[in-house]
Amino acid sequence: MDNILYNVQRQGKISFYHGEEASIVGSAAALGPNDEVLGQYREMGVLVWRGCSIDELMAQCLSTERDAGKGRQMPVHFGAPRFHFHTISSPLATQLPQAAGVAYAIKRDPARRGVDCVACYFGEGGWDSGKGPGYGIDTIRVDGNDALAVFSAVTEARRRAVAESKPVLVEAMTYRVGHHSTSDDNNPLHRMRKFLELQGWWSLEEEDSLKASQKKAVLTAFQKAEKDLKPSLTGLFTDVYSDEDTPWNLVEQRKELRDLLKKYGDAWEPYRTERAKFKGHGNDL
């Protein structure tokens, strides 16, 4: 999926894309199914681990009418309540105070206190050196390109967070691996594959078969999403205010867009082409 969406972004078909690392999947495997997740942009692996389909992910990345977020977010800015995955926002580190609030809400809930926790993902741009020890927070540094090491570290971090009601920082030492860097011995996929082969649990034939089937599934989902319509343009003005409480400026903006499309929507080729991509073609404004 990373390879395909990287290429799609470079073709200008989506505006933004970030890949995943072993630290994401390794930590996802260590979390409970109802643990709340607040991410940055690289946590697609958490959603895949929790059962999110490729069709859903493609719909979000291409902002189609099947996107649960109604096409309002940038690509890979996911939000999925049924997977306990809070909507991603672009500014760095905004998820940190939000995560503290979510954790406090869990702590106040007798049914969830001592059962669930919050996992907050953030990169080096969202923290200062010495953040964990400097605040008296239990901290562990782990090889972020080793999925099993991350799994072990996060399993213990989660145990402490739930049992002792305390924050724990896991510093995963990793880097964003280029999507053609498969020959790198430190590549997390390469390392996991070698480990499984040495254990006799995996083979080159199974690897090739899996890659082929997954590539076909991703391409099928992408082609389906590429043909889907975008959400209705009415979505620009809904879901923030109730119909009776819509402020005057939104009413004016909706009318201005409606009048603009009525006047130029068929007369000017760029407008005509773009309108055809949206459900309702702008006629439902």
43: phi then psi, degrees, rounded to nearest 5: -105, 25
Tokens for 82? Answer: 């049924």
pLDDT interval class at 183 (50, 70, 90): very low
- Which residue type, as a one-letter code, is found at position 85? F
Lowest mean pLDDT of 13-17, 126-130, 225-229, name the range.
13-17
Query: In whole angstroms, what separates CA 128 from the centre of its chain?
Result: 24
- The per-residue pLDDT for 180 is 44
Give the pLDDT confidence score for residue 16 in this predicted structure.
Answer: 52
169's torsion region: left (phi>0), alpha (psi -120 to 50) or beta? beta
Q: What's the average model confidence in pLDDT over 112-139?
A: 88
pTM of the model: 0.87
Domain ranges of the chain: 2-227, 233-282
d(CA 94, CA 137): 20
**CA–CA gap between residue 204 and residue 188 (Å, rounded):** 16
Beta bridge partners of 36: 118
Of 10-24, 152-166, 208-222, the one with minimum mean pLDDT is: 10-24
CATH topology of domain 2-227: Rossmann fold (3.40.50)
Rounded Cα distance between 86 and 187, Å, is: 29
Cα-based distances in Å from 185 to 150, 235, 282? 18, 47, 52
Q: What angle do CA 125, 126, 128 make, to 5 degrees?
A: 90
Question: What's the rounded Cα separation, in Å, for the pair 38 and 190?
Answer: 28
Task: Please give the radius of gyration of the chain, using alpha carbons only, rounded to the nearest integer.
Answer: 22
Give the model confidence (pLDDT) of 250-271 as tens digits: 999 999 999 999 999 999 999 8
Locus of tokens 């540094």: 141
Q: Which two tokens stand for residue 212?
A: 């082929």
**Which has the higher per-residue pLDDT, 66 or 175?**
66
The arithmetic mean of pLDDT across residues 214-243, rounded, is: 93
DSSP 83: G
Q: How confident is the model at residue 213 (pLDDT cuts 50, 70, 90)?
A: very high
